[in-house]
Chain A
C-alpha cells in the first residue's frame, strides 16, 4: 500500500518536473510571438511582457516586404516535386538492385552507401561549377535535380533494406499471371512499399524544406527565393528592426509547424523507421 502510494507520488513529481521543462522548451516561441506583435518602442523597453496592444500591421508589412507568397510557393514547389521524383527514382532503382544482384548493382549499392558519409560542404565548391556548366544555375528545375542527386543515396538505401524483406513468392505469382517486370513493380511492389514511401517522403521533406545552403548557392534571382533564403536576405537588410524581422520569422516557421502537427504520427514513425534502417 505504502509502496504504491510512494510510486504514485513519484510519478506526480516526474510529471511536474517534465511539464516545467516542457514550458522552458516553449519559452523561445513565447518571446518570438509576443514581440512580433509589439510596437517597436514597446519591444525595446520590455521584451518579456505581454503586448499592451496587438500591432498586427507588423505582419502586413513583413508579408509584403518579404514577398512571402512567392517564397512560400517556391519552397512548396521545390519540396513537393523533388520528393515525388526522388521517391519514384529511388524505389525503382532499389527494386532493381535487390532483384538483379549483378556485380554492377552490388558495387553501385556500396557506392551509394559510401556517398552517404560525404558532407555537403565537401563537394559544394566544384558543384557550383558543374551545375553552371550543366545549365542548372539559377533555376528551380536545376535545384530540384541537385536535390535528386543528394537524396538518392539515402533514399535508395532505405528502400533497399525494405524491399529485401518482401518475399519473392508474391512477385513470382504475378509473373505467372502474365505481368512483366514493370507491371509487377507498379501493381505489386509499389503498394507494398507504402510505409517506407511515407518514411522517405517525411525525412526528405523536412530536409529540403529547411535547407538553406544549397538553394543559396544555386538560386540568385529574388523571385526564385525559398523561405530560408528570403528570411536570410530580409534579416541582413533589417537586422535591428525586430518589429519586421520577428513577424517574418513567425511566417517562416508556421507552415512547417502546421505540417508537423498535422502529420505528427507519420513523422515520428518515419524517424523511427529511418533510424532503425540507418
Chain B
C-alpha cells in the first residue's frame, strides 16, 4: 500500500511536475510579484523598492490622462473592430459555403493574412498607406486615397481598424464555416418549403444555431483587439500625438520607456481585471443565447 502511494507521488511528479514548474516560474511568480510591485515606486534600475500604498492607483485614476485616452482609444477600437471583423468573417463564411467553383481558393486567400504576424503586417500596410494609397489616389483622383492616412487622428484610427479586420476576418471565417456546415440541412429545406425568405431563415434559424461559434469568435476578436500591441507598434507607434496609443502600448511605455515600473505594473493589474471582467461577461451573455437544433 505504502509503495503504491510513493509510486503515485512519483508519477504525479513525473507527469505534472515539469508543466507546473514552468507555469509557476513564468506566470505565477511574475503575476503575484506584479501585485506587490503595483504598490511600490519600483523604477526597474535601482535595487531599492519602496512601498507607497495606493499612490500608483490614485495617480492612474486621478491624473493620468494619457492612460485614460489610451483606454478610450482601445474601447472604441475594440467595439468597432469586434463588430466589423465578425460581420465580415460571418459574411465570408455564409457565401463560401455555397457551391462556388472558386471557394477553396477564396478561403485560402481570405485566411492568408492571418498567418503573418501583426508586426510585419503593420509594416506592410505602413507602406500601403504612405505610398500605395497616394499612387492609387493619383490614378483615380479619389479623395479617399489622397489623405495622409497615418498622419491625422481620425484616419489613423481607421487605418488600424482596416488592417485589423483584414488580418482577423479570415480566422473567424474558418470557425463560422465549420459551424454553418453543421446546421442541419433538413431544417433549412423545411424553412424553404414553408416559404421563409432568405433573410428570415438567416435571422431565425441560422444565427441562433451558430451561437456557439459566435461565442468563440466574439471572445477571440475581443481579446485580440483589446490586447492589440504589435499592429499598433508597427503601424502608428501610437501617433499622431498619442491618439492611437492602445492600453497595452501605454503600459509598455510606462515601464520600459519612462522606467516607472511600479506605475506600469499597477496599470497592468487594472488591465488584467478589465480583460477578465469583460471576457467573462461576454462569454456568459452569448452562452445564454445558445440553442440546440
Report A's interface with B, CB cutoff 8 A: 11, 14-15, 17-19, 21-22, 25-26, 28, 31-32, 35, 43-44, 46-49, 89-90, 92-93, 95-97, 100, 105, 108, 112, 115, 117-131, 134, 145-146, 148-150, 152-153, 156, 181-182, 185, 206, 209-213, 217, 227-228, 231-232, 235, 242, 245-246, 249, 252-253, 256-257, 259-261, 264, 267-268, 271-272, 275-276, 278
Contact = CB atoms under 8 A, between A and B. Distances in A.
Given A14-B100, A95-B15, A145 B174 contact: no
A18 B100 contact: yes
A11 B132 contact: no
B62 interface: no
Given A28-B125, A130-B33, A261 B132 contact: no
Contacts of B30: 123-124, 126-127, 129-130
A19 B108 CA distance: 12
Contact of B31 (A123, A228, A260): A123
Given A112-B23, A126-B37, A152-B19, A259 B115 contact: yes
A127 B27 CA distance: 8
Interface stretch (B50-58, B199-207, B266-274): B266-274
Given A108-B16, A212-B118, A231-B123, A123 B174 contact: no
B248 A43 contact: no
B158 interface: no
Interface in B5-39: 8, 11-12, 14-16, 18-20, 22-23, 25-31, 33-34, 37
A115 B27 contact: yes
Pick from A25, A235, A268 the residue with the most CB of B within 10 Å. Answer: A25
A15 B100 contact: yes
Contact of B19 (A18, A47, A93, A129): A93
Contacts, number: 255
Contacts of B98: 11, 14
B210 to A, nearest CB: 12
Nearest to A46: B135
Interface stretch (B75-83, B227-235, B285-293): B227-235
B23 A100 contact: no
Interface residues of B, number: 91
A47 B15 contact: no
Given A92-B15, A211-B117, 11 more contacts: A19-B106, A35-B127, A96-B16, A118-B31, A118-B276, A121-B251, A121-B271, A122-B272, A123-B30, A123-B34, A212-B230
Pick from A46, A95, A127, A267 the residue with the most CB of B within 10 Å. Answer: A127
A130 B134 CA distance: 47
B128 A28 contact: yes
B127 A242 contact: yes
Main secondary structure of the interface of A (DSSP, over half): helix
Main secondary structure of the interface of B (DSSP, over half): helix
B100 A105 contact: no
Contacts of A267: 115
Contacts of B174: 268, 271-272
A118 B134 CA distance: 41
Contacts of A32: 124, 127-128
Nearest to B170: A25
A257 B120 CA distance: 13
Contacts of B127: 31-32, 35, 242, 245-246
A15 B37 contact: no
Contacts of A43: 131
Contacts of B280: 117
Interface in B187-212: none
B276 A124 contact: no
A11 B98 CA distance: 8
A276 B219 CA distance: 12
A126 B217 CA distance: 31
Given A112-B23, A152-B19, A249 B120 contact: yes
Nearest to A250: B124
B160 interface: no
B166 interface: yes
Pick from A92, A118, A228, A256 the residue with the most CB of B within 10 Å. Answer: A118
A203 to B, nearest CB: 11
Contacts of A209: 117
A-B interface, 6 closest residue pairs, ranked by CB to CB distance from nearest: A149-B26, A210-B117, A96-B15, A93-B19, A48-B135, A122-B272
A150 B136 contact: no
A129 to B, nearest CB: 7
A18 B37 contact: no
B279 A213 contact: no
Contacts of B95: 14, 17-18
A47 B175 contact: no
Contacts of A25: 109-110, 112-113, 166
Pick from A19, A121, A145, A235 the residue with the most CB of B within 10 Å. Answer: A121
